[in-house]
Structure 1
């Protein structure tokens, strides 16, 4: 059973229009009155409103006199209700979805109605509210919204005058969701491959939105696909120049400069890291903290001691291969491995974190979490307090 089949009435307007009644698809060609179908689409698009009959008359019978138009409206709504009833299986409740009262018409979008516009708006708002404090839940809401967006609002009705403004509204909402999703995938989920795929799809609909190009370039950098990032920047710069006589913004150019900087690549290049005892690790970090420079730490945490013991050797071997020669790692506790990332800002830390996560086998990914954080050492906190703060407040893969 599809998601839509679980509802008495299902209306999808993002992308090609699709109507289902108790799981039965109602093809557009089966409508005896095209205006009845258009009124259904309009009421669904304005699901939060009650529409005066005068508005419907002006929109669909603007050339008729008022009395004739009123009769036509009444007859068309009757055909609309009749069509919905005809597709309702015998023995099933036939809810009065199209309501009328006090000269107003509306779609009764209750619990037994699936309306993609309504769910898209709910998921979009939820992702916005949760983005700062609960990014994992925000990402889930973003992905739910993207799944609902199958394309432009009423894609088959591009020339409907009343649909243009609504189409533009949902298109902008879609782009905001794409950018929010990509940011969360890069910064919290460490999944640049999925972020790149989402951005590439969005660029087919909005090829000149610079924030999308920036996110895509960031995704390529996170995957260490530097040639792809450079090629994409060059293609975007060329298109922008030929179409508008403009150049990419300074923010976009900085991304390219980072890629071309040999020092940047050297900073994330894996060599052989040192593995040491906790006492040596803590003493080294204490000396570094005394310099008042930002301190970048990465942690791999287990919840189960049996799993931690089982994979200790594999984790230490992976860290040795994935980290750089000036990095330092230790088994801080039976459940926690901690790494000091030398000469690393947040961007470098995320790239290394992604590299480690990618190298984890499926079993390891299911039983451990990875954190990273850049700390200020001005407050003279103990190293143990910083590590505790990172694992308690950090957001792990």
Structure 2
């Protein structure tokens, strides 16, 4: 690949975006020109496909942010060409050619792009019948994956789509490597691979968590597996409002089967339940559980003198656009953190839509609900990062 007679570029887009060859090295940053790297990222990712000016404009200025997009594109292409000149010193190399409004890469320049090498190795491995060759291909694919695809451009829809695709492909390769290692009883290596993969992959994927737990059981670490299982339940419930006990039932049964065969007494059961660590703050749950709690409180309110209030918190942009922006998503995370810290331990809340939270509070009167309302509003105004986002709070008694 480094033959002097061959012009080449080595492009990495997993984890960080960098371009290298024997003459020069460049990593994407705000100082190096993010828009140029967005352009290059799209062009590299679609190598071999016909790319038009309109396609590039849609990617670079998706909301019509440029008054003269064709002129802006020409300027950006010129700036990007200058950015790449140090890779071919003393030569006037035309990287991109344009013919009939179609952009293509110069075929004389060899492009080594990690995402395509990763994809090729993974799919070859899935089709390879020979176990030894399959394992080699899987390890090659695994070594190429360094994290999310173009993370600095993760808010672009085409990047999100490709990132999900590569992430799922990575998880599939890891699970298959774990299978090979487990067949050879290489459990320590399997555990090491699981931990490394979980640093890269979305924590919402259950398969790698299951793989880790079964590996811990194979290593005879049933208590560690049980503690990890409980930490997963807390993670999914507190961070995502998801109850995964049903989908993890097989794991729990496997853990119990691996535990020492001893009966619980009523006292030991009580002690176990009391000693279980509970995250401080209010209770965050998924919408189904929230709905069940609402029904319980509704019946309780009708039978007793207890008073419960349903509160709806809505975030929207001041210009009332219907699209969900990155600003709005970031503010939702801020509001989530505030509710965790500012609500009481017996308050229950959930994410009821992409830009709304709902909560149930117990208060002797409407004044108590107003106090909580103002507490959230005041805290949010202090933590808000985007002044264009507004918080609206409504509540009603549950009767």
Segments of 5+ residues of structure 1 without an aligned counterpart are 263-397
Between the aligned partners of 1:208 and 1:59, the Cα distance in structure 2 is 28
Map 1:125-140; keep pairs closer than 5 Å: 125-130=123-128, 133-140=129-136
**Residues 1:207 and 2:203 are matched in the alignment:** yes
Q: CA deviation at 1:25?
A: 0.8
**Equivalent residue, structure 2, for 1:251:** 250
Between the aligned partners of 2:60 and 2:204, the Cα distance in structure 1 is 36
One of 120, 144, 152 as aligned partner of 1:122: 120
Between the aligned partners of 1:240 and 1:249, the Cα distance in structure 2 is 12
Alpha-carbon distance change, 153 to 191 in structure 1, aligned in 2, over 3 angstroms: same
Q: CA deviation at 1:75?
A: 3.3
Q: CA deviation at 1:15?
A: 0.7
Between the aligned partners of 2:213 and 2:111, the Cα distance in structure 1 is 40
Map 1:237-316; keep pairs closer than 5 Å: 237-240=233-236, 243-247=241-245, 248-260=247-259
Map 1:216-235; keep pairs closer than 5 Å: 216-235=212-231
Q: CA deviation at 1:118?
A: 0.8
Q: CA deviation at 1:64?
A: 4.1
**Equivalent residue, structure 2, for 1:14:** 14
One of 145, 150, 162 as aligned partner of 2:146: 150
Between the aligned partners of 1:206 and 1:64, the Cα distance in structure 2 is 35
**Equivalent residue, structure 2, for 1:195:** 190
Between the aligned partners of 1:108 and 1:256, the Cα distance in structure 2 is 57
One of 89, 106, 111 as aligned partner of 1:113: 111
Alpha-carbon distance change, 216 to 108 in structure 1, aligned in 2, over 3 angstroms: farther
Between the aligned partners of 1:109 and 1:229, the Cα distance in structure 2 is 53
SS in 1 for 2:103: strand
Q: CA deviation at 1:241?
A: 5.2
Between the aligned partners of 1:233 and 1:246, the Cα distance in structure 2 is 10
Moved more, 72-81 or 107-116: 107-116
> Residue 149 of structure 1 contacts residue 174 of structure 1 at CA under 8 Å; is this kept in 2?
yes
Between the aligned partners of 2:24 and 2:69, the Cα distance in structure 1 is 32
CA RMSD of aligned residues (A): 3.1
In the alignment of these two chains, the number of paired residues is 253
**Residues 1:26 and 2:21 are matched in the alignment:** no
Alpha-carbon distance change, 108 to 117 in structure 1, aligned in 2, over 3 angstroms: farther
Deviations 1:79-99 (A, max 9, x none): 323322233244xx7654323
Between the aligned partners of 1:182 and 1:7, the Cα distance in structure 2 is 38
Alpha-carbon distance change, 109 to 232 in structure 1, aligned in 2, over 3 angstroms: farther
Q: CA deviation at 1:223?
A: 2.5
Deviations 1:296-341 (A, max 9, x none): xxxxxxxxxxxxxxxxxxxxxxxxxxxxxxxxxxxxxxxxxxxxxx
Q: CA deviation at 1:13?
A: 0.7
Alpha-carbon distance change, 165 to 244 in structure 1, aligned in 2, over 3 angstroms: same
**Equivalent residue, structure 1, for 2:98:** 100
**Equivalent residue, structure 2, for 1:236:** 232
> Residue 22 of structure 1 contacts residue 89 of structure 1 at CA under 8 Å; is this kept in 2?
no
> Given the two structures, how large is their TM-score scaled by the length of structure 2?
0.56
> Residue 66 of structure 2 contacts residue 72 of structure 2 at CA under 8 Å; is this kept in 1?
no
Q: CA deviation at 1:20?
A: 1.2
Segments of 5+ residues of structure 2 without an aligned counterpart are 262-399
